[in-house]
Amino acid sequence: MISVQNVHKSFGDLEVLKGVSLDVPNGEVVSVIGGSGSGKSTLLYCINAIESINSGRILVDDVDVHSKSTNKDKLRQKLGMVFQQFNAFPHMSVLENAALAPRIVKKMSREEAIEIAKKELEHVGLGDKFDVYPTRMSGGQQQRLAIARALAMKPDFMLLDEVTSALDPELVGEVLDTLRLLAEEGMTMICVTHEMGFARDVSDRVAYFHQGVIAEIGDAKQVIGDPQNPLTQKFLSKVL
């Protein structure tokens, strides 16, 4: 379970998160929607301890993420993260991309790491691309590689930061299908997304972010289909 408790976060004078609280129990998929600069991506970075927080608390399976005594490298193994930019390692083949972290972080043997990497790559439909270099692949394939790479660490949670925003429209579908598959398998996910259809159909709950706070949160179909907060209504009327 991920538990975000009254988190505040500023970059210099700019307060990006103004007291955000959110509980995501195991098995749930939560989509976070909102305008750019509303702080939704920053929240993911704070959960993964890539950014520090100013006050509040974030617990991942009851471990305080930002406590000094927490081993952040260890914690990140539980939290798979996928970014807007695909961030494939350009100097490694697809298989090496996915096998690197299991090998050097989890200290698996080469064979074990490769076996897991192969399994996860097949999982996202890249079973025929093991020896290809990522620069030779489409954005959609690179993004699926990034998902497989994160999955190869056997994370308990997935944090997805606008993973389809940098994709050509015709490539968005294949990545969303992969995420849908993960959701069906019961992966706990927090997805920051601009894909309202995906948010409505795949997630259990949707949170609408506005100027650093969660303005509305609730059942996915209800928030997208029948928003209560005027701010949410205004936002949705613009993007739908």
Q: By the criterion CB under 8 A, which residues form the site for another protein?
A: 48, 50, 73-74, 76-77, 79-81, 83, 85, 87, 89-91, 100-101, 104-106, 146, 149-150, 153
**Residue 118 or 210 with smaller CB distance to another protein:** 118
**Residue 96 or 195 with smaller CB distance to another protein:** 96
Q: Closest Cα to residue 157, out of 23, 10, 24?
A: 24
Q: Which residues pair with 213 in a beta bridge?
A: 210
**Residue 79 or 214 with smaller CB distance to another protein:** 79
- Residue 193 and residue 153: Cα distance in Å, rounded? 23
176-185 exposure pattern, b = at least 16 Cβ within 10 A, e = fewer: bebbeebbee
Judged on CB neighbours under 10 Å (0-12, 13-18, 19+), 52 is exposed
CB of 218 to another protein, least distance (A): 29
CB of 105 to another protein, least distance (A): 4
**Residue 121 or 215 with smaller CB distance to another protein:** 121
Sign of CA dihedral 101, 106, 112, 118: negative
CB of 80 to another protein, least distance (A): 8
CB of 45 to another protein, least distance (A): 8
